Chains A and B, each alone.
Chain A
Amino acid sequence: MRLIARFCIENSDNFEIVTVYDKTIERTVTDKQNPSVTTISDRYPTAVWFERKMHDDFGISIEGAFDTRPLNRHERFPDVHPLRKSFHESDLRPVPFHPYPYEAIKGESVFEVAVGPIHAGIIEPGHFQFSQSGEGMLHLEVRHFYKYRGIERMLEGKSLKKSSKIIGRINGNESVAYQIARIKIMLEASGRPYPIELQKYHTLLLETERIIHHLTDLGFIPNDAGFGAALAYSSRLAEESRRFLQKLCGHRFGFDAVGWETPAYRQDEIRTFTEKLQKEIDWFEVWITDIPSLWDRFDKTGILTRAKAKKYGCVGVVARASGLQTDSRQEPFYQNHGFRIATEKSGDVAARFKVRIEEIKTSLKLIEAFTGDGTPFTMEQPSKSDYRDGDYMSFAESSIGELFMFMRLKKGKIERFFVRDPSFINWQALHLMMPGNIIADFPLINKSCDLSYAGNDL
C-alpha cells in the first residue's frame, strides 16, 4: 500500500487520526486528555513528517517515533498547538531561542554545510543541511516550513465560496490543480456531476499549467549544469505559454480561473499554439540530446531506485522517472482523450528530464483533444444549503504530482481543511538521491525534482 496522507481532525470529544492509503482509509480516535497514536513510520518512511506535523499542530504524542523534533514550529515559535479549537491568538507568548538538533553524521574529516533559508537565486526559502566528506555528500537533511502561513487554520470556518481565493493562491505554480481539487469537492458535496464541458476546460488549463512548469524546468536543469542557452530557449517558450494561459483565462497563473463557467475561446488560437510549441519542443529535444557534455552531468546523477521510490510512496515526475506507474490521470476521462503515462527506468536526473519532455508532448495532445468548439458554458453554482455535511477527499495531478485535498464540511462551512502537496512526500525522499554525488550536483538534482516550498509549508 502507498501512504497518501495522515492527519488529525479535532472532534468535540476526541481527536480523530485519518490515514489515507491508496487502497483504504483508516480512522483511529484518541481521547483529549492524553492524546497519543502509534507511529507507522517503521513501515511508511514518509509518515515521519505527517506525524511530526500532527504533534506540532495538535499536541498528539507519537508512540514509538524515532524522530520527535518539531517540524513547523521553528526556534522561536511559541509553545502552542495552533490547530486545536481551544487555541486563541492571545495565547501566543514569546519563547527563548531553542536550537534545532540537525541530523548530522559525525566522524573524522566529516563536516557540515548549511544552505538557506535564503538562497542565492530567486527561489523560495528552505534549509538544506549537508554532511560532507570532501566534495561527496554523505547525507542531506531538508528542513522547511519557513513559509508556514497557517493556511489550514485560515480556512476553518470559511464558506466554500470564500475559500476560492485562498486555495487558488496556496501555491502559484500549481494553482489550477488546487482549484480543481476544490471544485471536485464542491461538486461531490452538492451531489452534482462534473459537466464534461467544464471538466474539459479545467483540464485544458491544468495541462497548460503543466507545460509552463515543465518548460521552466527544462531550462533551469541545464542551466544548473552550466548550459545557459537552454534556459534562454525554454524560458522564451515558457513565457509564450504563460501568455497563452492568460489569453485563455485572463490570468498568467490561472488564479481564480477555475469556476462554474467557461469563457468563449477561439479554437484556431489553441491549434496555432499547440502546433507551434510541438515543433519547438521537437527541435529542442533533438538539439539538447546532441550535447554530450550536458548528459555527462545528467546521467547517473541523483539516482532514486525504483524500490526506494516505492518504499517512500513517491509521486509525480520523481516516481515516474524511477519506473513507477503513479499518475492520477490514469482514469477514463483522460484515457479517452489519448492520455498515455510517460515513465523512465533509470531514476536519475536524465530520466526526470526525459519524462518532462515526454509529458509536454502528451499535454499538447491532450490540449488538442480537450479543445471544444469554444462556446461559453455556465453551470449554476450550488448554494450554501446544497452542500451536505461530511468528509470529502479529492485528487488532482498537478505538474509536480498527485495532489490530495481533504475537507470536512459542516453547514456549508469548512470545519477542517487539509491538503497534501506532492512535494510533501517527495521532499522526504530527496535525501535518498544524494549519497555518491558531489555537492555541486545538488542544485541539479534538486531542480530535476522541482519541488514546491509553498505548497509543502502551508
Chain B
Amino acid sequence: MVKFWQKRIQSPTLTENLHLDHELEKIQKEIKEHIYRKFAGSLSIRMVDSGSCNACEAECNALSNPFYDLERLGISFVASPRHADVMLLSGMITFNMYHHVIDAYHQMPQPAYVITLGDCPLMQAPFDKTYALKGNAEKLLPVSYHIPGCPPEPKQIMEGLVGFLRSLGKPA
C-alpha cells in the first residue's frame, strides 16, 4: 500500500485528451444541475439487461471508471429496482427474460422511468425478430427516453442522460 500512495503523490494530474475532458466537464455540470433540481441530488439507476451482447453493460461499467466517474454527479447504479428512479434497459426483450423485466418494472416506485440503451431494445440492431424475441420494447413498456448506439459510448450515454433529464421539464 505504501508503494501505491508513493506513486499517487508523485504523479501529476493526468489529462489524456483535453478536448474530450472539456466536453465531458460541460456534460457533467449539466447532469449535476438537473439531478440537483429534479431528483434532490441523487438519481438511482437500475440496469436491466435482457438479451444484449454485453457491450452495453461494459460501457455502463466504464461510466464508473476514473475517466467518467458518474457517481460524483449523484448517479448511482443500485442493486434493486425498489431503490431505482430509472430502469436502464439494454438488449432485445427475449421470451425468457420478458416476465422478469416486467416484474422488475412493477417493483419500481412511481414515478418510474424507463430508458432504453442501445439499438437492441427497439429492434434497431442488425438482429432479426425471431421466435425467441418479444419485439420492440416500446410496445411492452412505457419507454421515456432512448439512447441510441451499438453500443453507445460512455460519452453518448452521458449525453443521453442529459437529454432524458432535459425532457422531464420543470418539477412541479
A and B together in one complex:
yes
Q: Which residue of B lies closest to A453 (CB)?
A: B54
| Interface flag for B85 (CB, 8 Å) | no
Main secondary structure, interface of A, reads: loop
Contact B133 A150 (CB under 8 A): yes
Shortest beta-carbon distance from B17 to chain A in Å: 8
Q: For B55, give its contact among A149, A229, A236, A253 (CB under 8 Å).
A: A253
Contacts of A120 in B (CB 8 A): 79-80
Q: A147-B91, A172-B52, A454-B52 are in contact. Are A77 and B96 (CB under 8 A)?
A: yes
> Does A424 interact with chain B (Cβ within 8 Å)?
no
Which residues of A in the span 388-439 have a Cβ within 8 Å of any Cβ on B? none
Q: How far is it, in angstroms, between the C-alpha of A454 and the C-alpha of B118 when the chains are bound? A: 16
Cβ of A165 within 8 Å of any chain B Cβ, yes or no, is: yes
Partner of B125, one of A169, A253, A452: A169
Contact B131 A82 (CB under 8 A): yes
Partner of A283, one of B7, B81, B132: B7
B59 to chain A, nearest CB (A): 8
Q: Are B97 and A239 in contact (CB under 8 A)?
A: no
For A165, the closest partner residue in chain B by CB is B126
**In the complex the two chains form, is B77's CB within 8 Å of A147's CB?**
no
Of B25-33, B63-71, B108-116, B139-147, the one touching chain A: B63-71
Interface Cβ pair total, 8 Å cutoff:
143
Pair A166/B80 contact, Cβ less than 8 Å: no
Question: Mask for A111-134, Cβ within 8 A of B = 1, else 0?
Answer: 000000110111111000000000
Tally of contact residues, B, Cβ under 8 A: 49
With both beta carbons as reference points, the residue of chain B lying nearest to A286 in the complex is identified as: B3
**Chain A nearest Cβ from B101, distance in angstroms:** 8
Check: A282 CB closer than 8 A to any chain B CB: no
Per-residue interface assignment for chain A, residues 44 to 79, with 1 indicating a CB less than 8 Å from any chain B CB and 0 otherwise? 000000000000000000000000000010101100
Q: Which residue of B lies closest to A171 (CB)?
A: B53
Known interface pairs A77-B95, A239-B65; A118-B60 also in contact (CB < 8 Å):
no
Is A22 located at the chain interface by the 8 A CB criterion?
no
Cross-chain contact B61 with A216 (CB below 8 angstroms): yes
Q: Which residues of A contact B99 (CB under 8 A)?
A: 76
A122 contacts B55, C-beta separation under 8 Å: no
Query: Interface size bucket, A side?
Result: 35 or more
Select the residue from B7, B58, B79 with max chain A CB neighbours within 10 A: B58
Query: Is the Cβ of B58 less than 8 Å from the Cβ of A253?
Result: yes
- Other than A125-B97, A147-B50, A236-B67, give 10 A-B pairs with Cβ distance below 8 A: A87-B131, A147-B97, A148-B132, A149-B94, A150-B132, A153-B131, A238-B65, A252-B153, A253-B58, A457-B51
Which residue numbers of B lie inside 8 Å of A, CB to CB? Answer: 1, 3-4, 7, 16, 47-62, 64-67, 77, 79-81, 91-92, 94-97, 99-100, 104, 125-128, 130-133, 150-151, 153
Can you pick out 19 interface pairs between chain A and chain B where the beta carbons lie within 8 Å of each other? A80-B131, A89-B130, A122-B57, A123-B49, A146-B96, A147-B50, A153-B131, A154-B130, A166-B126, A171-B54, A172-B55, A172-B151, A175-B53, A216-B61, A235-B62, A235-B65, A239-B66, A253-B55, A287-B4
